[in-house]
Structure 1
Amino acid sequence: MRTYAQIISTVLATLSALLVCGALHAAEHLPYREVPFFQAKVADHALLPVEQRMPKEPLVVDLNAKGRLFGIPGGDIVTIVARARDIRYQSAIGYTRLVGLDENFDLYPDILQSVDNQNDRVFTFHIRPGHRWSDGSFFTAEDFRFYWEDIANNSSISPVGPPEFMLIDGRGPRFEVIDQYTVRYTWDKPNPRFLPQLASPRDPFIYRPAHYLKQFHASYTDQKLLDVVARQQKLKSWAGLFNRMDTMYDLSDPDMPTLQPWKPVTYAPANRYYFERNPYYHRVDYKGVQLPYVDRLIFDISAPGLMAAKANAGEVDLLFRGLTMRDIPVLKEGEKVKDYRTRLWRVARGSELALYPNLNCSDPVFRKLNRDVRFRRALSLGIKRKTINMVLLYGLGREGNNTVISKSPLYRDEFRYRNSSYDPDEANRLLDELGLKRSDSTGLRILPDGRPLIITVELDGDQLLMADGLALIGEFWQDLGIKLIVKPQDRAILNNRSYSGQTIMSASVGLDNAIPNALTPPTELVPMHQDNLAWPKWGQYIETKGNSGEPIDIPEARELAQLYEQWMAAEDTPSRQAIWLKILENHADNLWSIGTVAGSLHPIVVKNNLANVPEKAFYSWAPTSFIGVYRMDEFFWATAERRQGGNR
């Protein structure tokens, strides 16, 4: 790719010069102060002064209102990841979005200056004038147009078309460029998912750096030349080359401009990856200091099993991924000697261990059994959740179904506890009612086709805590005449087996976002995506518009799909809340997944003197984006010695 970049370097240099020399706007209301990391470059005229780098109207952060300290810029934060590809999660951690969630999980404009929303049908985005990409090029409406017209609606690059959340009744919005800093999306019906999806942990990036990516696009660069470069990279066509170079989410290419607080500077392969502060980042504090406060993030590659040990040895400044509740004793041991603290954040999941009977199972006997709510209720009533809580979560969890947690305004006790008490007598009665008689010789119940009732539960092989929980469930179910076999395997294999109907039952974590509100799309709880292990083929059918999978054929599940359509069409918050409550009640009644215990504590290792890291918070993929919503760009070193070295 370097060879190709050299071929077009003259064109790029010209384009870059034109963009950088455009109109400059300094924010007059702030006394900007240059951070030490850039002072030498500014003095040498290698970089514009900060007042010319910032948007005309930056996002000004009120740290006092958040109960945080104003920071002092400088220093590095060292962390570790299990594999090089995990550096892509920096997009989630940096959490810079068109619109984002704050710490109360309310939406606010972030990259965008403002959003006009007319009844969830017409969304007008106002871009901050003067906002720049990390390479100094201006961020404008052209970056949105390029994505929509040249990527999302280009069949060579995106064969399935625009992302599903941008489609209503299978059709995308009418897209308009109003002016250089304004774009508009219009649907004929409400699309309440649009803004929440833009704030998700995996940013859909409905914009791209057009000035950079056009060099790999056949509409702007000679296709024959692109195809030659593609073949050199062992790719079939220019479209494959384009998709390889479009690393917005991965953050793996230092040449790719970004709007994130830190930009990558290390080329793969490497054992240590560096991210340096983005000189054109759009956030600033009230004292005129451009964020982020910390100059560099450093990611060391380490084996997954060594995360806690390395933290215990003081080799990290901040660590959260790769740790579990089991690591807390080890982490606590090293605190005094290695100058760090272990903070315990509550995990915001519906259940730490949930069972997913595959309703689309290919085995006809288990397919019929899994679809019978009496069977699912019997399995639930046969689980002694208090024991699981004591063994796995030291008694600190909340037992019950896989549902929202008490932090959510949608929480109701009945949704967590209905059909979740330990009642082996009722469980046995239901199994008897199903005609599953016990064998005199083995004590196991017998399936209608004569096989013993043996359930193989498949799970991700890395989930050791989950395997221990399944071993306990196996003991409980043995008393019901059911044998449970635990089958750990690679996650990709597990997913493929589920999607094809080969799994009888799977185990995984429960509801990922267990602190939703009425405006949160209820997509996790309705059969519309194949990655839900309970109904993969129903999800396939929806995702492929009927080209694969199976149509929903259980009335209670069709009710969920209908409720989702009602939620999409609702035009006020009370209506959406009422629909949410009906969806949650449907799950409590039908037990599409079988939860066990929620509320584990997740260890967050924080070096002493790293300030503005919350003492208590929620941890999850969604909605917290790991630690993203807590704004890592506001973390800073409170001691001068830790702020040194930013220019190394």
Structure 2
Amino acid sequence: MLTRRTALGAIASAIIPGRLRAAEPKSALPSPETGLPDLADRLPKTPRVIDVSAMGRLPGRPGGTVRTLIGSQKDIRFMTIYGYARLVGYDESLNMHADILESFEDVGSRIFTFRIREGHKWSDGSLLTAEDFRYCWEDVWLNKQLKSEGLPRAFLVDGKMPVFEVVDPLTVRYTWDAPNPDFLPSLAAPQPLSLVLPATYLKQFHEKYQEPDQLQALVKKYRARKWTALHLIMSRQYRPENPALPALEPWINRTEPPAERFVFERNPFFHRVDKNGQQLPYIDRFILNVSSSAIIAAKAGSGESDLQMNGIDFADYSFLKDSEKRYPLKVHLWKRTQGSRLALLPNLNAADTTWRAVLRDARVRRALSLAIDRREINMAVFYGLAKESADTVLPESPLFRREFAEAWAAHDPDKANALLDEAGLAARDEDGFRMLPDGRTAQITVETAGESSLDTDVLELVTDHWRAIGIPLFIRTSQRDVFQSRALGGQIMMSLWSGIDNGVPTAEMSPHQLAPTVEDQLQWPLWGSHYASDGQVGEQPDLPEAVELVSLLTRWRRAGEHQERVRIWDAMLSLYTDQVFSIGIVNATLQPVLASTRLRNLPSTGLYGFDPTSYLGVYMPDTFWLEED
């Protein structure tokens, strides 16, 4: 069957005789059938050497296939997260290292100089050079047709973008007038800021480099609306849907969507080796089978997956553990990194003016938190294996303080009742429920996506806890994709979601999650969208404590010293937990990680989360390997 890659090469070669010639057939992803250059010609002059023994693991045997399950086609993005090839990235201890880059220099968080590995190649065998960085910056990010929404915030300091320089063919530099401490962490993120694109391949889809009639032919061929839409589709890295796009990841997608089965094959030009000189990754291929999210746990527990984290939860643990008796599987338990596994988020931007005023009263938020019996929830839902806590950082973070975890988290219904009385909710109706200042019953509607039985199990217990202080709770389930629009419209009074995403931060990681900075923060979506859009949409915060959090975040971004960042983090965590902007319940909950008994080098314990660990990413799945049957 003619692949998209082959078709593109044939078409482009035929129609582009002039200014730009498309990738030749040699650009196709090499395979054992076509033959590969010697290993020394596939690796950079200085590959990144991974000492697996120092990581407490064993050098591996190359080969084999790993099956996993995904809930939809868009979930092929998990391979980009798991593969975790980054310009710079974190290790298991969350220290930052050069990865794709040979080295980097940071001067005062203002000047960042990046050195490219000599001889480093894209997955099609073409060289990675400074031109790929220049193309990404000048021809993509600064192209108003391609990026009409402007630059991401990680590129901006006081509204100003950096000066970009090509120092030499293997060195590039980004310079700001003031510190930009967000820059390096954004490159190490699970969804990293893009700085580099395969210029040779993508120029054929760019109007600056392609003849107009030939570009239009490609637009028509791929049924795009215009050249900018075509370039976007062909250049997408985070969700790698274009098998022809050269990449730097350990495994490369070989399947064009739509499909029910995606095959990712090892990148023969990947830049890492083990200490014995064996090129990574060890595993030859991953096969991602698309399945209904509702039955992923059942399929995984029936031996249809060799490595599974997504689509399973702690509620599935007993079933999955029982599967060990019937299939060659092992279930590990990793610690989730959210500040709270589930958190109640009062919407301080609610459209109902009465409820908005009530929820903005810290006494009400504290009372609702004190009324929750976290011990009962921990024992009933998490078998006592979680940690009862406010929504804050975990002990694994150097920023952890016990008072943050304990802030308004004790079960104290008497204190809760007293706080609600002080807040003006002393009056009760004939059923004994508290009344709002306008005479309505103070019934709180909590909205949830209902994607896990944990949600309803926890909310049913909270319903009893709040009824005891005169607050009735009503549960409403809606789809995840309508959450944000409803929140922005002020239609959500309170939601149940996870707590802060990164519960294991260091002072060098941005504390933006503690301040209103993005619109999908359900406790203050209008304030968050105002910040994210530089005031174009949303509303400016008018609650003093929220304003202070934004001010502290600005100070953190301008801080040049580590200790100053520590102090700012401490102040923000103190304010956030004392104000109970999100009502945490338990954290340090456990995530099942199911694996074939043949899979080696997968840690038995680990930190599981999107940010900063990229789920499996910092544990380097390219070092995993399969033992022979």
Structure 2 length-normalised TM: 0.95
TM-superposed deviation, 1:237: 2.4
Match 2:583 to one of 585, 591, 594: 594
- Structure 1 residue 264 corresponds to structure 2 residue 253: yes
1:539 aligns with 2:528: yes
Alpha-carbon distance in 1 for matches of 2:175, 2:341: 40
**Alignment-mate amino acid for residue 636 of structure 1:** W
1:62 and 2:57 are equivalent in the alignment: no
Question: Contact 1:223–1:238 at 8 Å: present in 2 too?
Answer: no
Give distance in 1, aligned partners of 2:288 and 2:65.
11
Q: Shift of the alpha carbon at 1:506? A: 1.1
Aligned residues: 621
Looking at structure 2, the residues matched to 488 and 538 of structure 1 have their Cα atoms a distance apart, in angstroms, of 24
Amino acid at match of 2:12: I
1:136 and 2:140 correspond: no
**Partners of 2:218 and 2:245 in 1: CA distance:** 18
| Counterpart residue type for residue 306 of structure 2 | D
Q: Is the 8 A contact 1:385 1:399 kept in 2?
A: yes
SS across alignment from 2:244? coil
What is the match of residue 478 of structure 2? 489
Which of 403, 414, 419 does residue 414 from structure 1 map onto?
Answer: 403
> Structure 1 residue 105 and structure 2 residue 109: aligned?
no
1:103 Cα offset (Å): 0.5
Deviant stretches of 4+, over 2 Å: 1-7, 9-20, 37-41, 222-237, 437-440
What CA deviation, in whole Å up to 9, does each residue of 1:379-417 have, x standing for no partner? 111111111111121111111210001111111110011
Aligned twin of 1:312: 301
Partner secondary structure for residue 495 of structure 2: strand
Q: CA deviation at 1:472?
A: 1.1
CA contact (8 A) 2:429 2:441 kept: no
CA 116–381 in structure 1, closer or farther in 2 if over 3 Å, else same: same
SS in structure 2 opposite 1:337? coil
Q: Indicate the residue corresponding to 1:615 in structure 2.
A: 604
Is the 2:113–2:173 Cα contact (8 Å) retained in structure 1?
yes
Residues 234-383 of structure 1: matches in 2 within 5 Å?
A: 235-383=224-372
Distance in structure 2 (CA, Å) of the matches to 1:397 and 1:88: 29
Deviation at 1:517, TM superposition (A): 1.1
Please state whether the residue corresponding to 1:545 is helix, strand or coil.
coil
Separation in 1 of the partners of 2:151 and 2:541? 24
Q: Tell me how far 1:620 sits from its aligned partner.
A: 0.7
Q: CA deviation at 1:268?
A: 1.8
| 2:167 equivalent to 1:178 | yes
Whole-angstrom CA distance in 2 between matches of 1:195 and 1:637: 34
* 2:510 aligned residue: 521
Which residue of 215, 228, 253 maps to 1:226?
A: 215
The question of whether the paired residues in 1 share the 8 Å contact of 2:108 and 2:179 is answered with: yes
Corresponding residue number in structure 1 for 2:594: 605
Cα shift readout 1:447-475 (whole Å, capped 9, x = no counterpart): 12221111111122313212221121111
1:169-208 deviation digits (Å, cap 9, x = unpaired): 1111000011111100000000011101100111222111
| Preserved contact between residue 16 and residue 137 of structure 1 (Cα < 8 Å) | no
Instruction: For 2:611 and 2:199, locate their aligned partners in 1 and report how far apart those are by CA, in whole Å.
Output: 29
Alignment map for 1:456-475 (pairs within 5 Å): 456-475=445-464
Post-superposition CA distance 1:569-619 (Å, at most 9, x none): 111111111111111100121011110111111111111121100011111
The answer to whether 1:8 aligns with 2:8 is no
Cα RMSD of the aligned pairs, angstroms, is: 2.0
Secondary structure of the corresponding residue to residue 611 of structure 2? coil
Instruction: Return the alpha-carbon distance in structure 2 between the equivalents of residues 518 and 259 of structure 1.
Output: 29
Checking the alignment, whether the CA contact within 8 Å between 2:110 and 2:179 is kept in structure 1 is yes
For 2:492, the equivalent position in structure 1 comes to 503
Structure 1 residues 327 and 637: alpha-carbon distance in aligned structure 2, compared to 1, 3 A threshold: same
What residue ranges of structure 1 are gaps of 5+ in the alignment?
A: 21-36, 642-648
Deviations 1:116-153 (A, max 9, x none): 11010000000001111101111111111111111111
Q: Distance in 2 between matches of 1:495 and 1:391?
A: 30
Letter matched to residue 305 of structure 2:
V
Distance 2:247 2:584 in 1: 40
Residues 1:477 and 2:481 are matched in the alignment = no
Mapped contact 1:131–1:139 kept (Cα < 8 A): yes
Give the 3-state SS of the residue equivalent to 1:90 in structure 2: helix
Percentage of identical aligned residues: 43
Matched, 1:396 2:385: yes
Cα 1:440–1:592, aligned 2, differ >3 Å: closer, same or farther?
closer
Match of residue 74 from structure 1: 63
- Unmatched segments (≥5 aa) in structure 2: none
2:25 and 2:328 mapped to 1: Cα distance? 49
How far apart in 1 are the matches of 2:262 and 2:58? 29
Match of 1:551 in 2: 540
Is the CA contact 1:83–1:301 (under 8 Å) kept in the aligned structure 2?
yes
Measure how far apart 1:231 and its partner are. Answer: 6.0
- Which residue number in structure 1 is paired with residue 143 of structure 2? 154
Q: Tell me whether 1:405 sits opposite 2:409 in the alignment.
A: no
| Whole-angstrom distance in 1 between the partners of 2:26 and 2:261 | 33
Structure 1: distance between partners of 2:151 and 2:536: 17
